[in-house]
Amino acid sequence: MKRREAAITALVLVLSVVLAWAFWNAFSGPTGDRLAELTATRVPESGVTNPVTAVLLNFRAYDTLLELAVLLAAILGIWAVGKASPGFLPAGAVLRALVGLIVPLLIIAGGYMLWVGGHAPGGAFQAGALLGAAGVTLRLAGYPAAGLPPEALLRVTIGLGVLIFTLCGVALMALGYGFLTYPLDLAKWLILVIETAATLSIGATLAAAYLGGRADPTDSGDGVTR
């Protein structure tokens, strides 16, 4: 036991020294071009004017593709658990009226966030979060499927972001460019297509995740499974 404790102590000390060195070197090492400065100079080549969108959908598009793949893997894991729990009781008159007002506004706001993402704060993840919130609102109001389409179409919608992202990359390779290396004259429209597909996927994934399982078509929405 003493040897094990000594080995663990030595390992912790070595890691502490390495981390301390890395921390010191990060602040006192030679200064060069920072990522923010490099990004600002290359934004005109990205097809958009918003630096955040330029980074997420162009400069580090691989990372964003993997993020969508993580969401896809997460919802597949949730579906593997089984059917969703029974829905909430139907909404009363006041809540139904509020839902009828709020849900369309969330959808419109999601579309707006998607469109302005090219030149202002916004984009697919923000737009998808608003669509997901619309689904959560419908579920809380007693809609058993949270406004989601039938399962066959839902599967396509959830996988659409990864599919379109990948197809765009493969098509660019076939045209002689690198994978997800956008030519300047097509960059804006390719990013818009990818973001539109990602928005639908993210919104559907978040709403489906809130259900906690596959939607049960026999759930009438009154808390009782028929």
Checking if the pLDDT of 85 tops 60, the result is yes
| 136 vs 89, more confident | 136
Q: Is 131 a member of any domain?
A: yes
pLDDT band per the 50, 70, 90 thresholds, residue 89: confident
Q: Is 222 a member of any domain?
A: no
Angle in degrees, 0-180, between the axes of helices 184-211 and 151-174, rounded to the nearest 10: 160
Checking if the pLDDT of 220 tops 60, the result is no
- First CA to last CA distance, the chain: 60
Q: Is 108 a member of any domain?
A: yes
Q: Is 7 a member of any domain?
A: no
Domain span at residue 77 reads: 48-211
Residue 174: its pLDDT value, please? 93
Checking if the pLDDT of 158 tops 90, the result is yes
Checking if the pLDDT of 157 tops 90, the result is yes
| 199 vs 95, more confident | 199
pLDDT band per the 50, 70, 90 thresholds, residue 39: confident
Q: Is 139 a member of any domain?
A: yes
Cα diameter, the chain: 70
3-class secondary structure, 219: strand
Whether 136 and 207 have beta carbons less than 8 Å apart is answered as yes
- Containing 48, the helix (H) or strand (E) segment is none
Residue 217 structure tokens: 């078509």
pTM of the model as a whole? 0.79
| 133 vs 96, more confident | 133
- The share of the chain scoring above pLDDT 90, in percent, equals 46
Checking if the pLDDT of 32 tops 80, the result is no
Count of domains for the chain = 1
> Residue 15: what residue type?
L
| 14 vs 88, more confident | 14
Q: Is 8 a member of any domain?
A: no
DSSP notation for 132-149 = HHHHHHHHHTT-TTTTPP
Instruction: Encode pLDDT of 167-179 as tens digits.
Output: 999 999 999 998 9
> Residue 107: what residue type?
I
Q: Comparing C-alpha atoms, which of 186, 158, 139, 20 is closest to residue 76? A: 158
Please state, in angstroms and rounded to a whole number, the distance separating the CA atoms of residues 142 and 150: 17
Mean pLDDT over each residue of the chain, to the nearest integer: 86
Instruction: Please tell me the total number of residues recorded for the chain in this structure.
Output: 226
Q: Is 225 a member of any domain?
A: no
> Residue 122: what residue type?
G
Checking if the pLDDT of 144 tops 50, the result is yes
Instruction: Encode pLDDT of 67-81 as tens digits.
Output: 999 999 999 999 988
Q: Is 24 a member of any domain?
A: no
Please state, in angstroms and rounded to a whole number, the distance separating the CA atoms of residues 63 and 174: 21
